[in-house]
Amino acid sequence: EEEVSRYRDDNKIIVFGRNIPKPVLSFSEASFPDYVMSEINNQGFKLPTPIQAQSWPVGLSGRDVVGIAQTGSGKTLAYVLPSIIHIKNQPPLRHGDGPIALILCPTRELAQQVHSVSTTFGRLARINCACIYGGSPKGPQLRELSRGVEICVATPGRLLDFLESRRTNLNRCSYLVLDEADRMLDMGFEPQIKQIIGSIKCPRQTVMWSATWPKEIRTLAREFLRDYVQINIGS
């Protein structure tokens, strides 16, 4: 217990919520399967970052998470690795099924980055990923989706277009990520996000990430997350 409070103090981790698990101080404590560990080793990562250490045990237990941490703190793997474990615990995709994990991002550039990380870490688990964003032809994106993808990384506008025209669906979606939620709200995506969430009918795990914690983000968390653990790194 003293080790836990020292780790949290040293790394400026502040947690809020009920029944918060201890941070994992090493990758092995997170008990990732070999198909994840081999890619972590491949990347040469030595230790979880503070946001990863505190959010993995929460996310892996199936609970909702709000993570507030600066750019560069390792938030992508904080949600991508639990998404892979979540997917492997679900029945396999069947023909016509939409994604199991949906990752919403504010921009094409971020969506492409996250897609690249998901593809790399999902490869050995045979997880397929699609990247959906506006301002480029729909054909290639529709072909990616039609292969059947477990992970869909998307900007809200183009995804909503595909949902409304029934080119994809969220019938299987049970893991929802809102990345850079503060930027998505700044860019005016709130109505689209609400519409997308409204079309998810399954019970879902929702994890939300942001660099800042303004009132609009707090409202979004209260509206769409349940019994979440909030993790702040830094101030």
Catalog residues that contact Mg ion under the rule CB under 5 A: 75
In the list ligand ADP, Mg ion, none, the entry touching 7 (Cβ below 5 to 8 angstroms by class) is none
> Count of residues binding ligand ADP (CB under 6 A)?
12
Q: Is 45 one of the binding residues for ligand ADP (CB under 6 A)?
A: yes
17 versus 74: smaller Cβ distance to ligand ADP: 74
| Among 153, 225, 159, CA closest to 192 | 159
Q: Could you tell me the smallest distance in angstroms from the CB atom of residue 92 to ligand ADP?
A: 28
Sequence-distant (≥ 6) Cβ neighbours of residue 137 within 8 angstroms: none
**Span near ligand ADP by CB under 6 A; candidates 58-66, 73-81, 153-161, 195-203:** 73-81
Please provide residue 230's backbone torsions phi and psi, each rounded to the nearest 5 degrees.
Answer: -105, 135
Distances in whole angstroms, Cα of residue 106 to Cα of each of 68, 146, 182: 16, 23, 9
Using Cβ positions, the residue closest to Mg ion within the complex turns out to be 75
Using Cβ positions, the residue closest to ligand ADP within the complex turns out to be 76
Q: Could you tell me the smallest distance in angstroms from the CB atom of residue 81 to ligand ADP?
A: 10
Q: Are 83 and 225 in contact (CB under 8 A)?
A: no
Given phi > 0 = left and psi -120 to 50 = alpha, else beta, which region is 17?
Answer: left
Q: What DSSP state is assigned to residue 65? A: E
Q: Is 73 one of the binding residues for ligand ADP (CB under 6 A)?
A: yes
**Span near ligand ADP by CB under 6 A; candidates 75-83, 89-97, 151-159, 222-230:** 75-83
- Alpha-carbon dihedral 3, 4, 9, 12, rounded to 10 degrees: 140
Site for ligand ADP in 100-119 (CB under 6 A): none
Binding residues (CB under 6 A) for ligand ADP: these are: 45, 48-49, 52, 69, 71-77
